[in-house]
Every structure is written in C-alpha cells, then in structure tokens.
Amino acid sequence: MRLRLPGPLLTMVLTRTSPYFAAPASKLVARAAPASSSAGAAPSPKKRAGSGSSSAPAPSPSPKKRARSPKKEAPALEPPAGWRSTYDLITELRADRTAVVDSMGSEAIATSAGSAEERNYQVLVSLMLSSQTKDTVNAATMAKLRAHGLTMANILATPDDELDELIRAVGFHNNKVKFIKATTRLLVDEHDSTVPDTLEALTALPGVGPKMALICLNVCFDKIVGISVDTHVHRISNQLGWTGGGAPTKNPEATRAALESWMPFEVWGEVNLLLVGLGQEVQTEKPKLLRKALASSDPPAALRLLEVCGVDVAKEGAKHGIDVPA
C-alpha cells in the first residue's frame, strides 16, 4: 500500500530512513545586493503616439527578437543536506543511458556529417523544434528535414507551406516555421552564416529561449554558462527540495536561478541530461526504472527516491510482477 504524505512529512521520513536523503535546507543566505545600475540603464522604448500624424505607414515588425535583460541575481541557497548522496544515486540509476533523451535528444540526433557549422545549425533547429514536443517525434521530424536538406540556404529557399508540412508533427509547427525562417535569416545576415556562441546572442534569436541556448552552447561549443531547466528538471528539482524547501518555484527559470545559486559548477553541464532521463523513465518506463532501483547499491533509498518522484512502487511492482520489499 502506498503511503502518501505531505511534502514536509515525506522529507522527514526520507531523512530518518536513508543517508541518501536528508531534509532539504530551506534557509536563505542573502547575497549582498548588487550596486544599482539605474544610472547607466538604457531608457525604455518610447510608446508610439496614438493620435499623431498617420501619413507615414507604421514600420513592419522586425523578426529579430529583443535580447533578454540580464537575469536578476537570486538569493543564494544553502546546499540541501544530503543532496550529493541523492545526486550520486540518480547518477547510478541513469548509468545505463537508456532513456529516450539519450538516443533521441537534440544533441544525440544532430548528424556529425558535414562541417561543424552545419552540425551546429542542426542542433539549434532541433532545439527549436523540441519545445512542447516528445523526443521521438522530434527525432522523426529531424530525419525528414535532413532528407530534405537541412542547411541555412535550403531552409531559406523552402516555401513556408512546404516547411510546415515537413515539421507538422511537432507542437506549434506554424509558429516554429516562422521562428526557424526568421532565425535562419538572422544567422545569415548578421552572424556570417554561423550559430553564435554567446547566451545573449542566442536568446536574441526568434524562438530560442534560455533552455535551448544553454544546451546549444554546451553541445556546440563546450561552453557551460548555466543549468538548462525543462519541465522534467523543474518538477524533479522541486520534488527533491532542491529549490529552497519552501513553496515550489513557479517556472523553469526560477528553478534555474535556485539551482545555480548552490549547485557546484562541476555538475551544471550534466544535471539536465540526468534529470530529463529520470523524468522520462518515471513517466513512461516505470518497470525498467523499478528494476534498476532494486538492483542499485541502496535499494531502499532508490525506492524512496522513486516514490518522491511520483512512482507508486508497490502498485507498479504488483502490476508488473516485480517483488518489491514491504
């Protein structure tokens, strides 16, 4: 029988029963407030006059997206007690690298053929397609695009309706056609037909958010400047109490700020792949994950980890004929 406990009580249970889990620290350590930058801040854009002269037509909107303002520095969190043991256990459960993301994630499906710039462009396009789309669907769509000819010149020469048909299986395909076309045009016109290698330049491209940009920098340029947080990382980080121990963070960017405030830089580049794969297996491969937990170096702790992440281990064990200790 599955025991459902409120978050704080569940944390207490985990703390008392395994060295892999301890109550997440929620104490905030206030950082020194950064010096005010208002004196040097750029003035905000002026609003267009509402009833002035209308002899000149309104300018058409530029496809170029305004660069995001620098992220506000979040208060530093103390590392949650026992986080390293939990992290090591997750690493052990993910050692086989058999989650969907491991073979069909954006970094895995970009072809290595051709020049480095062609590969970088394919990684970027794959990331743009991945939003609100399963990795399996994204991989199939990328295969279609490669067969069509996934180069900047060919994408720009492809009519919008044809490109839309090629990527129709992904979420929000109509918008993604516009984003891919606008971004490709900017890459050609303003970046010498190359993918830029800074976070600011990447997030200024239409349809490219921080999560995509951070993965792109890591995969294409071996640059780690932040933790990429998607829905899996966001959910699991909150379930583990890695975001402060209080109320859950409201969105992936808030989760990123919380994680980056305490998580050692040495794991920034790998935590996304670890937690995304764990999240996928929690959702779609529970029997496999349950067997890995039972075969781990600490089965009781691994089973409790799965419970925290939303797996009813007793129910799943009974359903699939897996003997789960009471």
Instruction: Provide the 3-class DSSP secondary structure of residue 169.
Output: coil
CB 119 within 8 A of CB 111: yes
- Please check whether residues 18 and 130 belong to one and the same domain: no
d(CA 26, CA 88): 21
Catalytic residue status for 211: yes
- Distances in Å between the alpha carbon of 175 and those of 168, 178, 181, 187? 11, 5, 10, 18
Does residue 253 lie within any of the structural domains?
A: yes
d(CA 98, CA 135): 13
Give CA angle at 132 (105, 205), nearest 5°: 80
Q: Write out pLDDT tens, residues 240-279.
A: 999 987 789 999 999 999 999 999 999 999 999 999 999 9
Determine the pLDDT at residue 73.
Answer: 57
DSSP H/E element including 94: none
User: Which residue in 211, 292, 315, 319 is the catalytic one?
Assistant: 211
Provide the number of structural domains found in the chain. 2
- Please check whether residues 191 and 124 belong to one and the same domain: yes
- Please check whether residues 142 and 237 belong to one and the same domain: no
Q: What is the CATH number of the domain that holds 104?
A: 1.10.340.30
Does residue 201 lie within any of the structural domains?
A: yes
d(CA 186, CA 286): 43
**pLDDT digit string (tens) for the chain, length 326 residues:** 444 444 443 444 344 343 334 334 333 333 333 333 333 334 343 333 333 433 444 444 444 444 444 455 556 889 999 999 999 999 999 999 999 999 998 878 766 667 899 999 999 999 999 988 999 999 999 999 999 999 999 999 999 999 999 999 999 999 999 999 999 999 999 999 999 999 999 999 999 999 999 999 999 999 999 999 999 999 999 999 999 877 899 999 999 999 999 999 999 999 999 999 999 999 999 999 999 999 999 999 999 999 999 999 999 999 999 999 98
Total number of residues shown for the chain: 326
Does residue 63 lie within any of the structural domains?
A: no
Determine the pLDDT at residue 76.
Answer: 81
| Domain range for 271 | 7-22+75-98+229-320
Determine the pLDDT at residue 112.
Answer: 64
From 221, 246, 269, give the residue that closes a domain.
221
Does residue 65 lie within any of the structural domains?
A: no
d(CA 325, CA 313): 10
- Please check whether residues 217 and 107 belong to one and the same domain: yes
pTM of the model: 0.75
Determine the pLDDT at residue 107.
Answer: 76
